[in-house]
Amino acid sequence: MQFNDDAELDTSQVQDYRGSGGGGGGGGFPLGGLALGGGGLGIVGLVLWLVISHFAGGGGSNQLTGQPNNNQINQCKTGAQANASQDCRDVALVNSIQAYWQDQFARSSKTYRKATTIFFTSRQQTGCGTGTTGMGPFYCPADQHVYIDLSFFKELQTRFGATGGPFVEGYVLAHEYGHHVQNLLGTSKNIGKGSGATSGSVRLELQADCYAGVWANHATSTPGANGKPLISNVSQQDITNALDTASRIGDDFIQKNLGSGQVNSGSFTHGTSAQRQHWFTTGYQSGNPASCDTFNTDNLG
């Protein structure tokens, strides 16, 4: 993946709460600065969106812990910087994903409301309760923010054995923004609680993967703040890397390799590795969100 050197970034879509002290009451420094042990990233992580969305209910408080310090993020002004640093790359990816959906909503006379991505370390108070690194990235419907500890991307490689690569960050962020889209469209309402191979949870997660693929299809034609496409190139290797990651965060892979070793489809919440790959591919090949109707199919792949 390559960004256009002279594309312009919009840093207002990301808030940097890293090191701002998610200690919950304590001062910022000790907890905020230290990772809670290297092995943190739980398997639970990827399971989170639903758990959280269920206890979120309506008017949860959305008091974030600490103060954002956007000095570093605000340095990210151009695509050239996105090519050079992870912070700027993730700002640019958030920009691209949201620009795509803004345009897509407008085409169907709907209004897309931008969601801020919150960078945090360790733990962070959210509108959906306390988020931690171990949960992996998540979207909170109550405050409409995406939360991510960027160490997740390293964890994907070291713990889940993923190949990694910059475009994987696009896949993961686009998946989380897929949940925002579902929230805006009302899809996530009434999906039913519970887990299982054909549960509402699995269908919702697979649809978010499909939406990520749809964005990937449009990535090189989606403009940044100054009208120039943010991303100039998505390679076959990038897509391969995204599919590799999808295969590492499937319920069956996680249960087999990072859990009990037994695959129990009754507790699936995200779908199998093959299904996650299938729906990303469906979105990527069609470029059409309408192809992502995981709720009205008997064949989840």
Residues that bind Zn ion (CB under 5 A): 49, 205, 208
Q: Least CB distance from residue 4 to Zn ion, whole Å?
A: 29
Closest to Zn ion by CB, 208 or 292: 208
Residue type, 271: G
DSSP 292: G
Contact 4, 230 (CB under 8 A): yes
Tell me which residue has tokens 């076959």: 236
**What is the C-alpha to C-alpha distance for residues 166 and 281, in angstroms, rounded to an integer?**
18
Phi, psi of 223 (to 5 degrees): -80, 155
Closest to Zn ion by CB, 49 or 215: 49
Closest to Zn ion by CB, 65 or 188: 188
Q: Residue with the closest Cβ to Zn ion? A: 49
Q: Least CB distance from residue 91 to Zn ion, whole Å?
A: 21
Q: Least CB distance from residue 213 to Zn ion, whole Å?
A: 14
Closest to Zn ion by CB, 49 or 153: 49
Q: Least CB distance from residue 205 to Zn ion, whole Å?
A: 5
Closest to Zn ion by CB, 238 or 251: 251
Closest to Zn ion by CB, 73 or 97: 97
Q: Least CB distance from residue 146 to Zn ion, whole Å?
A: 10
Kindly state the helix (H) or strand (E) to which residue 201 belongs, with its residue range: helix 200-218
Closest to Zn ion by CB, 223 or 301: 301
| Neighbour count for residue 121 (Cβ, 10 Å) | 21
E strand spans, the chain = 2-3, 14-16, 116-119, 123-126, 129-132, 138-140, 145-148, 231-233
**What is the C-alpha to C-alpha distance for residues 11 and 8, in angstroms, rounded to an integer?**
10
Contact 180, 62 (CB under 8 A): no
Closest to Zn ion by CB, 72 or 265: 265
Contact 177, 146 (CB under 8 A): yes
Q: Least CB distance from residue 189 to Zn ion, whole Å?
A: 16
**What is the C-alpha to C-alpha distance for residues 80 and 83, in angstroms, rounded to an integer?**
5
Q: Least CB distance from residue 16 to Zn ion, whole Å?
A: 23
Nearest to 167 by CA among 256, 83, 279, 251: 83
Burial of 151 (0-12, 13-18, 19+ CB in 10 A): middle
- 272, two tokens: 């199998």
Q: Look at residue 172 and give its three-state secondary structure.
A: helix
Q: Least CB distance from residue 174 to Zn ion, whole Å?
A: 11
